[in-house]
Amino acid sequence: MLPTRMFLLWISLLFFCITMQNVLCKLTVDATSTSSLSNPTVVIVGSGIGGTSCAYYLKKMVPNASAIILETDSRIGGRVYDVKIDGEVFVIGVYSWAGYHQYVRELVNEMGLDRTDRDFDGEPNFVSPFTFTAWNGTHLIDTREIATAHEESMDILENGTVDFYVRMEDNYALRGYETFSEMEEFLSYGALGQWPTLESRQYYTDGGVHLELQDLAMEPLQKLINSQGMEGHVFSMYTSLSMEMGRGRVVGGNLKLIDALAEATSADVFLNSTVTTVERLSDGFNVVYQRENEQREMYADYVVIAAPLEATDINFQNFDPPVSQPSRNWYASYVYVVAAEGYNKEYFTNDPGRDVPGFVVGTPGESSGLVFITSKNVADLIYYTVTTTRNFTVDIEDMFINPSIRFEHHWKFGHPVLEPQSAGGASYQDVVLSPGLYNIGVMNDVMSQMEGSVIAARNAALLIKQESLSVSCAISFIQIVPAIIIIIFTSMWIFIIDI
Ligand SMILES: Cc1cc2nc3c(=O)[nH]c(=O)nc-3n(C[C@H](O)[C@H](O)[C@H](O)COP(=O)(O)OP(=O)(O)OC[C@H]3O[C@@H](n4cnc5c(N)ncnc54)[C@H](O)[C@@H]3O)c2cc1C
């Protein structure tokens, strides 16, 4: 009788092991903080906010992963770029985030950095973004006056913007730790899908917003934030309209966030390293990159492209199906830091009695290409940051009194053209380019902002976590197969002896 009981015991034990194995794997995949059972190597292309935050999320979500960041530039940060000139920090790329940008603010908190904004609870309060002076090529226009003149239109904008804000908050809450593999899926959380398919001009005209407000206030605002006007899609216009609702940045410059993220991850960061080819192997990827005039290669289980795909110029090989992505048009952006004795007022206004304020936004109506100018006083000079859509060196001579250009930078891939996407998702780039190969720059289809890259970076880390854990579960199962066989044979042997 004893061996029979032992047999039953063995069998029960066996079923118990298998059940526990499955339950544990399931729990580990669903939990918010887990450790991976395997050790994947993840190569991240690009060290902007997308690449560095992805490495950081990987460290938290897949602690056994080894991340390597390859960056073509000689500095980290990508489009987050601050420079110090004569002891002052000047912003060349990203300025700020908006209130609903949860992850960027969370990262800043986790890095222990000071922010200029505060957390707030409760209903979002609309804050008018029209507080600047626009320049249409001949006249300066106070957008506050335009907004006051169109009270009814402002009410329409307020309702729409608050609705957008609340739906963005819903998107975060509903998505939680779910992953998305297509942009349509991302947009389904909070029902955001209609806005990237509609053109702003048509949408706001149909909605009753006065054309004067659109031309003289909304269009310059869109140009200031997204480098384009009313032809952009509605999602991008709402990101601009909501920018003042909780606007914030890192005290001392946003580049501090990138530095802190790079420091906090255990990723190896290789600068001056340009990825040229990603080749699919039977069990991973061969990543070919150019560094110090030498071609090098490394193996990766996963590859994350943390840059606009079009900017990378990567040659993809052995893909089935081959990668064929909708390519987006991009606005170039030129940034100058100019020290001068002041503005040449005649350049900006026919009324020499009128002062030129410190912050001027150019409207698309004028052909000069000026996007905006900000100013600050340093010693007895005024320092201007001038952002334009074309080379502006000659204009700067006319614009300022005794100017000297202290710094200039050209963004080839500054802002994507956010034209309406076709409904059904045909014109969105893919999130998953091939199994194990993720595209962070995809968020630029709807949202040309830091937060978009962080949303996609976090999603890529979650996808890698899921993938590596399912591999781990499979491996663990294979590992217990010999044990199962031994248990079966032992049980049979005991059983035979028993009878
Ligand atoms: C002037 C300007 C102002 C902006 N202002 C704001 C703002 O106020 N708020 C906001 O939220 N957003 C703003 N943005 C947009 C924001 O900068 C971007 O959406 C965000 O920084 C993109 O981050 P990313 O990491 O996805 O890409 P990027 O920052 O572009 O990083 C990509 C990196 O990949 C590298 N790379 C590319 N190809 C390769 C390759 N083949 N091999 C290796 N490395 C490669 C690049 O050198 C780069 O460092 C602004 C953009 C510009 C240009």
pLDDT tens column, 419-450: 898 876 678 899 999 999 999 999 999 998 99
Does residue 58 sit within a domain? no
Question: Within this chain, do residues 102 and 246 fall inside the same structural domain, yes or no?
Answer: yes
Domain count, the chain: 2
Question: What's the average model confidence in pLDDT over 201-209?
Answer: 98
Higher-confidence position of 71 and 360:
71
pLDDT at res. 493: 63
Half-sphere exposure of 420 (CA within 13 A, CB side): 15
Residue at a domain's end among 390, 415, 430: 430
Q: Which of 33-47, 57-71, 303-317, 445-459 has the lowest mean pLDDT?
A: 33-47
169 belongs to a structural domain = yes
Q: Which of 73-77, 265-269, 453-457 has the lowest mean pLDDT?
A: 265-269
**Structure tokens belonging to residue 159:** 């309702």
What pLDDT is stored for residue 14 in this prediction? 60
Residue 121 clears pLDDT 80, i.e. is over it: no
Strand partners of residue 330: 416
**Is there a single domain that holds both residue 239 and residue 384?**
yes
Q: How many CB atoms lie within 10 A of CB 343?
A: 22
pLDDT digits (tens, 9 = 90+) for 457-498: 999 999 999 988 766 555 555 555 555 666 666 666 665 665
- Do residue 346 and residue 485 come from a single domain? no
* Residue 450 domain-assigned (yes or no): no
Give the model's pLDDT for residue 48: 98
- In a 3-state reduction of DSSP, which class is residue 266? coil
* E strand or H helix at 164: helix 151-175
* Residue 46, domain member (yes or no): no
Burial status of residue 424 (CB atoms within 10 A of its CB: 0-12, 13-18, 19 or more): exposed
97 lines ligand 1 (CB under 6 A): yes
Task: Based on the fold, state whether residues 19 and 126 are members of the same structural domain.
Answer: no
pLDDT surpassing 50 at residue 148: yes
Which CATH number goes with the domain that contains 158? 3.90.660
- Name the domain boundary from 372, 395, 430: 430
Q: Which of the four pLDDT bands, split at 50, 70 and 90, describes residue 130?
A: very high
Residue at a domain's end among 414, 430, 446: 430
pLDDT, averaged across the chain? 88
Q: Are residues 424 and 487 in the same domain?
A: no
- In this structure, the answer to whether residues 22 and 105 fall within a common structural domain is no
Question: What does the pLDDT average to over 276-290?
Answer: 96
User: Does ligand 1 have an atom closer than 6 angstroms to the CB of 246?
Assistant: no
Residue nearest to atom 48 of ligand 1 (CA): 78
Q: What is the distance in A from the centroid of ligand 1 to the CA of 308?
A: 8
Q: Which residues pair with 248 in a beta bridge?
A: 97
Is residue 411, in this structure, part of any structural domain at all?
A: yes
Classify residue 394: in a domain, yes or no.
yes
DSSP symbol at 244: T
| 216 located within any domain | yes
pLDDT of 247: 95
Q: pLDDT > 90: what percent of the chain?
A: 69
Q: Which atom of ligand 1 is nearest to the CA of 76?
A: 49
Q: Residue 32's pLDDT band (boundaries 50, 70, 90)? A: very low
Q: Ligand 1: which atom is nearest the Cα of residue 453?
A: 26
Q: Are residues 159 and 238 in the same domain?
A: yes
- Alpha-carbon distance values, 315 to 179, 279, 286, 432, 437 (Å): 27, 8, 12, 16, 13
pTM recorded for the entire structure: 0.89
From 372, 373, 82, select the one nearest 222 (Cα to Cα).
372
Using DSSP, state whether 97 is helix, strand or coil: strand
Once rounded to an integer, what is the mean pLDDT over residues 266-289? 96
Q: Is 34 in the pocket of ligand 1 (CB under 6 A)?
A: no
DSSP characters over 362-406: E-TTSSS-EEEEEEEEETTEEEEEEEESS--HHHHHHHEES-EEE
Q: Is residue 51 part of a domain?
A: no
- If asked whether residues 124 and 197 sit together in one domain, one would say yes
217 and 361 assigned to the same domain: yes
Co-location of 133 and 19 in the same domain: no
Which domain, by its residues, includes 369?
Answer: 75-257+327-430
Phi, psi of 253, deg, nearest 5: 115, 140
Q: What is the pLDDT of residue 30?
A: 40
CA–centroid distance, residue 96 to ligand 1 (Å): 13
- Are residues 372 and 423 part of one domain? yes
| Ligand 1 site, residue 416, Cβ cutoff 6 A | no
In this predicted structure, the answer to whether residue 382 has a pLDDT above a threshold of 60 is: yes
